[in-house]
Structure 1
Amino acid sequence: MTEAVAAVDLGATSGRVMLGFVGHNELSVRPVARFPNLPVRTPDGLHWNILELFRNVTAGLAAAAREEPGLASAGVDSWAVDYGLLRGGRMLGAPFHYRDDRTVAAVETTHSAVSAEQLYAANGLQYLPFNTLYQLEAERDSGMLGFADSLLLIPDLINFWLTGEHFAERTNASTTGLLDITTGEWNETLISRLGLPAGLLAPLVSPGSSIGTLLPSMATEFGIPGSLNIVAVGSHDTASAVVAIPAATPNFAYISCGTWGLVGVELEHPVLSESSRLANFTNEGGVDGRVRYLHNVMGLWLLSESVRSWERGGDTIDLPALLAQASAVTSTVPLFDANDPRFLPPGDMPTRIAEWLSEHGRAAPQSRPEFVRSIVQSLAAAFSDAVRTASELSGIRVDVIHIVGGGSQNELLCQLTATLSGIPVLAGPVEATAIGNVLIQARAQGFVTGSLEALRSLVASAFSPQRFTPAR
């Protein structure tokens, strides 16, 4: 018997609601709703349009319930670190976007209270200027933190609006910098040292836990069955994506590639060495207590923001055609550091890349196909370096790289990653995050059983990855 669940997968540029079908040796997904996730700039900064996002989520769930009246459950995943502040259950303003620059001063203030070395020992996270703990320092500087009595990360906020239940799911909580790397619980000592209000953070739950059923008002308003169970999944989208790696060996590296490229290996225990901190590798929570030991690389944001810049100039860009032209480039293109922080904010990406190249004595590409080739090859180089470093720091000898997510469709990126790393690449599935979301729900409902390895075997049977061999 095949059972149906709904995966709400919210990415940093778009969202989707997917129906997942799971049965004995059966696994498939199909979209029922796709929608953009566009930030809004106001005089005080860059924000997420969370109300529009919630409207699209509920419309998508209603569509899923119409298609599958026996829908068993739904689960929500999203990008990390961002949150809504609440008081008495009401949101205090639109959540800030992590690409907003308000945390610049907050980083220094935070490190004056707790050094970077002490933070890494406490939370195991790589330094990123938009980590939640830096954002909260910025909230305090603005005076807003004093009004709040609770904080919910984006998936937890969506779940709260759906069910009225106030929880924090562990995989996403691990990205805040406030979770104890050794216990997996909120680090009350660190929270106190940072001067954050007591009781701000919600009780923790693990992937597979039931959050609750829909509020009657939500069920009536949106035409969704009130009996629909909302299940905590790996609510950090990368945690769900890693569940769906079709790995046949434990010695794999993964690249969950979309707006960001999350490059790493899966471990049983964190790596907290000084070498790991200096390499800026992070130890984030995975499903079933695994550790996602990884490094954030800028990802396809570099390409998509370049396309937006060219289109703002009045041109129409056919990206598949442009990628095909880039694949045909035979001349040497200049490479740049894809991790340079100047590439983080929205804006004129081609000009920034050209400026980086000029500063380093390299001529910028002259044509758009060469520019795209430069971007993709620079990303592949960054991915390869991150895999190599993850292997060295963790002690895992990587024998295959799995690329999942939207980047798995970029054949040039996959081939260059294989060639530059010298390691075979298996690309796909594209919808790994939604698939992992579905599988955790299905296991929670008893539709499938077993370890992560058993779930991954099901993925491997249902989705055949494309193989890329290192070119000589």
Structure 2
Amino acid sequence: MTFAVAAVDLGATSGRVMLGTFTDDRVSLREVRRFPNAPVRRTYGGRTELRWNFGDLMEQITEGLREAVRQEPELSGLAVDSWGVDYGLVRSGRQVDDPFHYRDSRTAEVVEETHRRISAARLYRRSGVQPMAINTLYQLLDDHRTGRLAEGDSVLLMPQLVEYALTGVARTEATIASTTGLLGADGAWDLELARELGLPVSALPALVGAGQERVPLFADLGRVLGSDGLTVTAVASHDTASAVAATPLAAGDAYISCGTWGLAGVELEAPFLDEAAYREGFTNEAGYGGRICFQRNLMGLWLLSECVRRWREQGDDQALPQLLAAARSAAGRPVFDVDDPVFAEPGDMPRRIADWYRARDLEPPGFPAEFVRCIVDSLAESFAAALAAASRLTGRPVRRIHVVGGGSRNALLCEAIAKRSGLRVLAGPAEATALGNVLAQAAVAGRVPREPEAVRAVAERSADRTSFG
């Protein structure tokens, strides 16, 4: 008997609603709706802010779910995953306002103030999460400073904010909570730290694990979608955790989950809190089944997206596949530091890259294909270096790399990763996050054993992969 569910998979540049069907011990995915997810700039009190348009996001999700029900009337349920760190505030069943975008610059002063009170190294020892200005912790402290935090009585991370709009239930799933900087290395909210920083612990909803709880949709919403009785399952709602859950890792394997961001690392059984890991920029985020994603959070395909956007504004409408094809024969350049803060905010990315080279007396790329070649080579170098460091720090040899997410479709990037790492690369699936989302729902429904290895065995049967190197 076919088992069908919907995966609401939200990325920091686009979202999608995927229909997942489980038949004959494998999952097939079908995209039913894809939509852009771009921040909006708004001016409040003389300051330009970067926010998410949550109302538009929910309209797109609702339309996608309606289409999923139309295509599969026996749909059993749905689950939501998204990027980390961002959140919304709610009070008495009402959303306070649109969530801030993590690339908003509001936390710069807060980070410095916080580290004068509690060192970054101490924060790392408590949570295992690399202190970064985008982290939920610093965003909450800025909201506390401005008084915005007092306007809400619950802080809901993005997947659970969507769930709240669908069900009215406030909760926090553990993998997405691990991106906040407020989840202790023991997997529980660090209430002592929250109190020390003056944050209201009552605003942190109860934690649930991936696959531990299903809640019903609002009845009215179910009628709008055309299906009564749908439930929302708490899966590994951090998109990286879902993607890694669907990656068939074996001994000696590492992963690169490459989308807007690039997450490069290895899976561990427990957090690795060594001071050297902190110094070298590694973070410990919760994964499916109690595993730990020990990884560097790196620049991903956003650099390419921003360059393409800028060239289109200037009248060059070449699509990325054309640019990648031209980049194969473009002259190479020394790699640049893709994680330099100068590349962190939206803007004229080709100019910033050229300025980076000029500031170091290096010849910059001259035309779009050369920029693309430089970006691809530099991303590959960043990923290869991160995995070499993860292997050295943990003492675990890395013999093979899985590239999943949108970056797995980029053959030039996968080839460059194989070349710079000297390792075999397996690319795919591109929709690893949605696959992990669907498989977690199948596990809750008893269609797949819950153990990570069993989930991965189904994932391996469900998706093709391409080998490089």
TM-score, with structure 2 as normaliser: 0.97
Distance 1:227 1:342, change over 3 A: same
Asked whether the equivalents of residues 282 and 296 of structure 2 are also in contact (C-alpha less than 8 Å), the reply is yes
Counterpart in the other structure of 1:367: 367
Cross-structure match for 1:318: 319
- Where does residue 307 of structure 1 map in the other structure? 308
Q: Is the 8 A contact 2:137 2:182 kept in 1?
A: yes
Matched, 1:171 2:161: no
Partners of 1:175 and 1:7 in 2: CA distance:
21
Aligned counterpart, 1:230: 232
Distance apart, 1:450 and its partner CA: 4.5
CA deviation string 1:205-264 (max 9, x = no partner): 0001223111122223x23423111000110000000011133x2221111101111111
Query: Which residue of structure 2 aligns with residue 81 of structure 1?
Result: 85
CA distance in 2, matches of 1:334, 1:26: 44
Q: Name the counterpart of 2:293.
A: 292
CA root-mean-square deviation: 1.1
Residue number in structure 1 paired with 2:284:
283
Q: CA deviation at 1:358?
A: 1.4
Aligned residue in 2 for 1:29: 29
Paired residues of 2:448 and 2:454 also in contact (CA < 8 A) = no
2 CA distance for matches of 1:462 and 1:277? 36
Q: How does 1:61-460 map to 2 (within 5 A)?
A: 61-181=65-185, 183-220=186-223, 222-247=224-249, 249-329=250-330, 331-460=331-460
Paired position in structure 2 for 1:39: 39
Distance 1:371 1:324 in 2: 13
Question: 1:72 and 1:219 mapped to 2: Cα distance?
Answer: 12
Q: Distance in 2 between matches of 1:451 and 1:209?
A: 13
Matched, 1:52 2:56: yes
Aligned residues of 1:213 and 1:226 also touching (Cα < 8 A): no
Counterpart Cα distance in 2 of 1:15 and 1:140: 30
Q: Is the 8 A contact 2:65 2:225 kept in 1?
A: no
Residue of structure 2 in register with 1:15 after alignment: 15
Report the CA distance between 1:269 and its aligned residue: 0.9
CA displacement at 1:441 relative to structure 2:
0.2
| TM-fit CA distance, 1:303 | 0.6
After superposition, give the CA deviation of every residue in 1:249-297 in whole Å (9 maximum; x if it has no partner): 2221111101111111100011111100001100000011100000011
Contact 1:123 1:179 in 2 (8 A): yes
Q: Amino acid of the residue matched to residue 235 of structure 1?
A: S
For the 8 Å contact 2:5–2:77, the answer to whether it is kept is yes
- Deviation readout 1:152-192 (Å, 9 max, x if unpaired): 001001111111111100000000000011x2110111111
Q: Distance in 1 between matches of 2:176 and 2:267?
A: 16
Q: What is the SS of the residue equivalent to 2:467?
A: strand
* Residue of structure 1 equivalent to 2:4: 4
- C-alpha change, 1:423 and 1:137, in structure 2 (3 Å) is same
**How high is the TM-score relative to the length of structure 1?**
0.97
Partner Cα separation in structure 2 for residue 161 and residue 152 of structure 1: 11
Deviations 1:350-395 (A, max 9, x none): 1111111112221101222111100100000000001101111122
| Alpha-carbon separation, structure 1, partners of 2:227 and 2:368 | 50
Counterpart amino acid of 1:286?
G
CA contact (8 A) 1:24 1:448 kept: no
SS at match of 2:203: coil
- 365-374 vs 419-428, which deviates more? 365-374
Deviation at 1:201, TM superposition (A): 0.5
Contact in 2 for aligned 1:22/1:28 (Cα 8 Å):
yes
Per-residue CA distance 1:383-433 (angstroms, 9 max, x = gap): 000110111112211111000011001001000000000111000001000
Given that 1:246 and 1:457 are in contact with CA atoms closer than 8 Å, whether structure 2 keeps it comes out as yes
**Identity rate, percent:** 50
Query: Relative to structure 2, which stretch is displaced further, 78-87 or 24-33?
Result: 24-33
Amino acid corresponding to residue 314 of structure 1 in structure 2 = G
Q: Which amino acid aligns with 2:232?
A: I
CA contact (8 A) 2:26 2:459 kept: no
Equivalent position amino acid for 2:277 in 1: S
Comparing 387-396 with 435-444, greater Cα deviation is found at 387-396
In 2: Cα distance, 1:332 partner to 1:86 partner: 50
CA distance in 2, matches of 1:116, 1:459: 38
Query: Is the contact made by 1:283 and 1:293 (CA closer than 8 Å) also made in structure 2?
Result: yes
